Structure 1
């Protein structure tokens, strides 16, 4: 009986922000996986170890959470005035599915360092010492990200003293600019797909909720924590160990996706798990983070908790942070109201692992809200590099 050999595929395992994933150069993938389609999806699922009915990813590189079941494909830019194309795949854990519908804001921090280290950025644009500004085309959503990457002695600087809540050790700071982050290609061609800052979202069998539905960074449904019976200071166990709560959030997400024009029926939500996100907000309050660190109400503007791939996130997704910063900058949204109302260009919010500051510049043009950019700091680090192995008959 013959057996398929294992293929060796060049890859880098990287942390970006509070996520980590497997990074590939497009040209290093097997020929069948260099184009979108079933072969590429099957390959990435096998790399991660999905679908895994045990929910552990024991036989793959995944970590069995939404933050650690990710793959990234990088290539030379196909869009003028950019350095690289960045394509992100969110791999489902217990089902055979790769969601390409959105970006990962956290892993965006690792794209610039990977591109520089792999010679994808023109050497003339990388200083020997200083900051290299890498222009990234985010191919999933057709948006530009500018990563400001520190360089020392001609190489990416990874170590430093920048601390990020949700990440154990300090590292070098990478500033990210998400340019024109409103996703105008989805849900009616506007930042607010319904045309309203606040909607009444009716979810049969669950209830009717005030909701801010926004396309910025990533499509997001914002709710008031109090309307759901929460304080906004919940940690993962309070939500993720409550099957009824998870089912309720999924129902809200599905109906919100239809309302935003992202899908045509609630049944389609199962094939679009990565987007939209659901988050709930509350005014600032004294609370304790997941690490046991006390957070004073006076140190934050509001509390936010967000779900990713059906579970409460351990910190905050980078793309959702863009949505938070954008919504906070627009008076009248639920996010702005939770933060005290009024215009602002930056907000610091509490999440399960601590706090995060994000800035956004929004303005009204012909009665429509638009945002020019959102800014936040993250860090990134290579965890391992070399090759991943997958059975040759896996895709």
Structure 2
């Protein structure tokens, strides 16, 4: 039997925020994969090492978590006044599925740097030293993002002293602005309510804030489902009944948000919506052993991604948290003490994060102008990935 030889594709492996992913230039992909469709999906699945029934992604670049099973495709922007088009693919670990329904806020931190280093940005708009302002068009959700990338002697500055909880080593700070981040068409609150009664089989009726900002997110109160809000990963991820409960909440919330027509469709939309539970400020010890004091945070938030509690906080979910926190009456705002605010500091399993937001009520509808946070990014490896050539016959 004759087997197709491996092919090699230029790629860069990058940490962005608390995630890692394989980055490609669109024009570097095999021609058959330069368009959306089954060939592209099959290629990215093989690159990452999915589907893997062992759940380890040993035969690929993935790291067997939702934070490290990610792909990015970048190209010169087709949008007027933007530098780069950013397409994100969340690769399932144990299923042959790539979810294109949402953005990755963490990997956003690496998009501007990759675009500069790979010739996707007009060199005349990039300073020799200082801060390069890169205008990103997020293709998955059709939204604008501004990345402030530090430059030194004509090169992207990656090293620095900015510390990001959830990342072991310091790096250069990259400020990200999510412009008008309400995700999807229509109201930022798709039900028209800041708080809804969400009926969930075998759970009951839960109070829920369902918001489209950054990424569609369902917020519930921690105590309503038997948690304190200070839990770490093992408390949730080792409990199969808890994970099943969260998936049921996610599916029923997705229907109520109008993202899917019935709960069965949730299985083919794993990346969105997210589910998060909130509680008031309380002290705890983070996963790294760092003590988080009650007075240092406004609230605690724990969020699930791809069926598991996230080790820190997804960047897009942080956008949703920052937005909801600034809108009086949401569960997030209530957990933070209520009232008006322009930013929030929340605790997550790996530490804390500050997110600023500008929200306003306009003609009876809440709108958010932008959400701002700081992340960091660093190239880990660059060169070529290799995959068996028969993947292109998918």
- TM (norm. structure 2) is 0.99
Q: Does 2:256 align with 1:256?
A: no
| 2:119 counterpart residue number | 119
Count how many residue pairs are aligned between Structure 1 and Structure 2.
392
Contact preservation (8 Å) 2:128, 2:151: yes
How far the C-alpha of 1:184 sits from its partner, in A, is: 3.6
Q: What is the distance in 1 between the residues matched to 2:275 and 2:201?
A: 17
Q: Does 2:276 align with 1:308?
A: no
| 2:97 counterpart residue number | 97
Q: What is the distance in 2 between the residues matched to 1:264 and 1:218?
A: 18
| 2:222 counterpart residue number | 225
Contact preservation (8 Å) 1:136, 1:145: yes
| 2:390 counterpart residue number | 393
Deviations 1:281-303 (A, max 9, x none): 00001111001111000000000
1:265 to 262, 278, 283: 262
The DSSP-based 3-state class of the residue aligned with 1:150 is: strand
- Aligned 1:287-366 pairs, distance under 5 A: 287-366=284-363
- Aligned 1:1-395 pairs, distance under 5 A: 1-185=1-185, 189-395=186-392
How far the C-alpha of 1:205 sits from its partner, in A, is: 2.0
The DSSP-based 3-state class of the residue aligned with 2:40 is: helix
The DSSP-based 3-state class of the residue aligned with 2:58 is: coil
Q: What is the distance in 2 between the residues matched to 1:365 and 1:385?
A: 46
How far the C-alpha of 1:183 sits from its partner, in A, is: 1.4
Q: What is the distance in 2 between the residues matched to 1:43 and 1:379?
A: 28
Q: Which runs of 5+ in 1 are unaligned?
A: none
Contact preservation (8 Å) 2:144, 2:179: yes
Backbone CA RMSD of aligned residues: 0.5
Q: What is the distance in 1 between the residues matched to 2:204 and 2:33?
A: 44
Runs of 4+ in 1 over 3 A off after TM superposition: none
How far the C-alpha of 1:313 sits from its partner, in A, is: 0.0
How far the C-alpha of 1:204 sits from its partner, in A, is: 1.6
Contact preservation (8 Å) 1:183, 1:190: no
Q: What is the distance in 2 between the residues matched to 1:48 and 1:302?
A: 35
